[in-house]
Amino acid sequence: MAQQKAALSFELVAKCSVTRARASTMILPHGPVELPMFMPVATQASLKGLTPEQLESLGCRLCLNNTYHLGLKPGQATLDAVGGAHRLQSWNHNILTGMDE
């Protein structure tokens, strides 16, 4: 039986012995993400103030969507019809989803 590749892996790149600060890389399905990083929010799969192309040119490889808001608008039927959040927001990199009410 073939072993399935993990959807997420984490590699420690450097660690400060004084402050315990660290640099690392998360390996995600849509590519690696260097940490720490700035992560923009696309609450309803819509970035505010920057285009996906501009964000990509800055080296960003992860953005945050809000699952609760996506469920309200545009809704699951729309997400399914367009092929998911990646296609809806023209984003080929990683998306982290979270939920708050």
78-100 confidence digits (pLDDT tens):
999 999 999 999 999 999 987 76
Residue 101 predicted with pLDDT over 60: no
**Residue at 20 is within a domain:** yes
**Residue at 1 is within a domain:** no
The whole-number pLDDT of residue 77 equals 96
**Residue at 50 is within a domain:** yes
Structure tokens at 10: 């984490």
How many domains does the chain fold into?
1
**Averaged pLDDT of the chain:** 90
Domain range for 13: 9-98
**Residue at 45 is within a domain:** yes
Residue 23 predicted with pLDDT over 90: yes
**Residue at 3 is within a domain:** no
Lowest-pLDDT range, 21-25, 52-56, 78-82, 96-100? 96-100
**Residue at 2 is within a domain:** no
Q: For the chain, what's the residue count? A: 101
CA gap 32, 22 in Å, rounded: 16
The whole-number pLDDT of residue 100 equals 63
**Residue at 4 is within a domain:** no
